[in-house]
């Protein structure tokens, strides 16, 4: 990827603007009502399909509504609600430990500062950005998920593979108005046209995209 062609700032923003208009209904993919819900759902979603996570959370959210509810939960009872997700046992313990800290250090409220979120077990920078954006409307960065890691280099927005370096590149290149939603736009684009074998003939940004690393396309 060292020799991959990068787009200029103007072309990069044009590309993301076009994709944002193409997938104007793209949004965060996990269901939640409160910041506490979002923390639990985000931990559950790791290495688990969105559909599975969204299938188990309604009953989970009915049972556990506050950080205190989760902090006092029996791990085996909690596991019963989330057994369909991957590594459910470990995630039950992670949720309980995270909620204990939220209850004890933050009076039961999910922090709205990056540094405080990163202190919570099970919360990395991607999830912290997700919580800030979707629970509080605070945009400090860009959540870099597997789709961003896959598409950002292909689209000529970075030469990096490390999530934090990709985020830095995107923040330097893209206008801030795109930061809150570009992750979800990329996910829709990836699932619709730009997966393992890109369908470049139908792509709205085919003329801008350098197609870095694309060896076969339709």
For residues 118 and 184, state if they share a domain. Answer: no
For residues 147 and 176, state if they share a domain. Answer: yes
For residues 40 and 132, state if they share a domain. Answer: yes
Locate 130 and state its tokens: 């997700």
Domain termination residue (choose one: 95, 116, 136)? 136
The pLDDT value recorded for residue 203 is 98
Tens digit of pLDDT for each residue in 33-70? 999 999 999 999 999 999 999 999 999 999 999 999 99
For residues 111 and 159, state if they share a domain. Answer: no
For residues 124 and 154, state if they share a domain. Answer: no
* pTM over the 0.75 mark: yes
Tens digit of pLDDT for each residue in 134-174? 999 999 999 999 999 999 999 999 999 999 999 999 999 99
Q: Tell me, what CATH number does 79's domain have?
A: 1.10.340.30
Task: Specify if 98 maps to a domain.
Answer: yes
> pLDDT confidence of 2, banded at 50, 70, 90?
low
Domain termination residue (choose one: 136, 160, 182)? 136
> pLDDT confidence of 1, banded at 50, 70, 90?
low
For residues 54 and 83, state if they share a domain. Answer: yes
For residues 128 and 40, state if they share a domain. Answer: yes
Task: Specify if 209 maps to a domain.
Answer: no
Q: What is the 3-state secondary structure (H, E, C) of the chain?
A: CCCCCCCCHHHHHHHHHHHHHHCCCCCCCCCCCCHHHHHHHHHHHCCCCHHHHHHHHHHHHHHCCCHHHHHCCCHHHHHHHHCCCCCHHHHHHHHHHHHHHHHHHHCCCCCCCHHHHCCCCCCCHHHHHHHHHHHHCCCCCCCCCHHHHHHHHHCCCCCCCCHHHHHHHHHHHCCHHHCCCHHHHHHHHHHHCCCCCCCHHHCCCCCCCCCCCCCCCC
Task: Specify if 191 maps to a domain.
Answer: yes
Give me the number of domains the chain comprises. Answer: 2
Q: Tell me, what CATH number does 176's domain have?
A: 1.10.1670.10
For residues 23 and 64, state if they share a domain. Answer: no
Domain coverage including residue 91: 35-136
């Amino acid at each position: 990827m060292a020799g991959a062609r990068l787009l200029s700032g103007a072309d990069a923003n044009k590309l993301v603007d076009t994709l944002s208009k193409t997938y104007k209904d793209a949004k965060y993919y996990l269901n939640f009502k409160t910041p506490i819900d979002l923390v639990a759902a985000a931990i559950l979603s790791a290495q688990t399909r969105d559909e599975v996570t969204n299938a188990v959370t309604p009953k989970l959210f009915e049972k556990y509504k506050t950080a205190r509810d989760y902090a006092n939960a029996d791990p085996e009872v909690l596991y019963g609600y989330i057994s369909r997700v991957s590594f459910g046992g470990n995630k039950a313990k992670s949720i309980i430990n995270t909620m204990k800290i939220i209850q004890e250090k933050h009076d039961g409220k999910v922090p709205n500062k990056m540094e405080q979120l990163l202190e919570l077990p099970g919360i990395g920078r991607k999830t912290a950005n997700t919580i800030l954006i979707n629970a509080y409307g605070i945009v400090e960065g860009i959540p870099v998920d597997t789709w961003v890691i896959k598409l950002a280099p292909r689209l000529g927005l970075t030469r990096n593979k490390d999530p934090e370096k990709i985020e830095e590149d995107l923040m330097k290149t893209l206008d801030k108005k795109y930061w809150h939603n570009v992750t979800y736009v990329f996910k829709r684009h990836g699932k619709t046209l730009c997966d393992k074998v890109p369908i470049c003939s139908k792509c709205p940004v085919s003329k801008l995209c350098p197609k870095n690393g694309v060896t076969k396309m339709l």
